[in-house]
Amino acid sequence: MIADRYDAFLFDLDGVLYRGAEPIEGAAETLATLRRLGKGLAFVTNNSSRTPEAIAAHLIGLGIDARANEVETSALTTAQLLHGRAVVSAYVVGEDGLRTALAAAGVTVVDGSGADAETVVVGWDRGFDYAALATACVLIQRGASLVASNADASYPVADGLVLPGAGAILAAIQTATGVNAEVVGKPNAPIFRAALHRAGGGRPLVIGDRLDTDIEGAQRLGWDSLLVLTGITTGADLQTATSKPTYVVEHLDRLVDQD
């Protein structure tokens, strides 16, 4: 089986383990089999708005065994990055998951004018408005660095529609200031390396449904990847793709099927 070749399995969430509010058939059983085989697991998401506890609870509610310490979010990776650089304060455009992660890492979240913030941190924020945009831009012009949890321009919702993501907010700030952010989330290396550490190390397999984040990120690191066709990417998309997965499967349970 494919699983025999790897030690650690780094799973994207939406489109891989569930679709909207419904679990994807075979996902819970596949993960249970990997646990029985003694494999390391990590759940990897660019969504910075939710805490690991909330994500694990959501998975458990769908019948998928998960623990908070197996979850790597772009918020956690961003907080780890800033902590490692001894950043003390940040003005945050983002929701609870990002703010909680930064505070836990010892970074003071500065609100209001953000006059003392060393860094502007941008994630998904449904309350984003002109005042926040103006404050972020002023701070950057005064010398604050710009870091983004992720740069996903949009995310899918019902009926094939999409809504603005963190990348849309980031684009406004970058356009106004002329400054490009350091982006932490997929397809960039920091979040994948952090997830592999959570999974216990060893030889990793990245599992996702998106070519531009999951598969591209694995390719940049020279890691193997598995694309499932239960999410956003279709077989037709592969014909023109520049990022090619190691494996393509219709359903996740192919991962643990006997060859």
CB neighbours (10 Å) of residue 108? 13
Name the E strands within 68-213: 71-73, 89-93, 108-110, 119-122, 145-148, 154-156, 162-164, 182-183, 204-208
Q: How many CA atoms lie within 13 A of 65 on its CB side?
A: 10
Q: Is 35 helix (H, G, I), strand (E, B) or coil?
A: helix
The residue whose two tokens read 């993501």 is 165
CA distances from 161 to 20, 154, 165, 186 (A): 13, 10, 13, 22
Question: Is residue 128 within 8 Å of residue 102, measured between CB atoms?
Answer: no
Q: How far apart are CA 62 and CA 19, in angstroms?
A: 11
**For every residue of 167-188, which 3-state class applies, written as one string?**
HHHHHHHHHHHCCCCEECCCCC
Which positions are annotated as active-site residues?
12, 14
Residues 6+ apart with CB under 8 A from 114: 91, 120, 135, 136, 139
Q: Is 236 exposed, middle or buried (0-12, 13-18, 19+ CB in 10 A)?
A: exposed
Q: Rounded to an integer, what distance in angstroms lies between the CA atom of residue 259 and that of residue 256?
A: 9
**Peptide bond between residue 187 and the one before it cis (omega within 30 degrees of 0):** yes
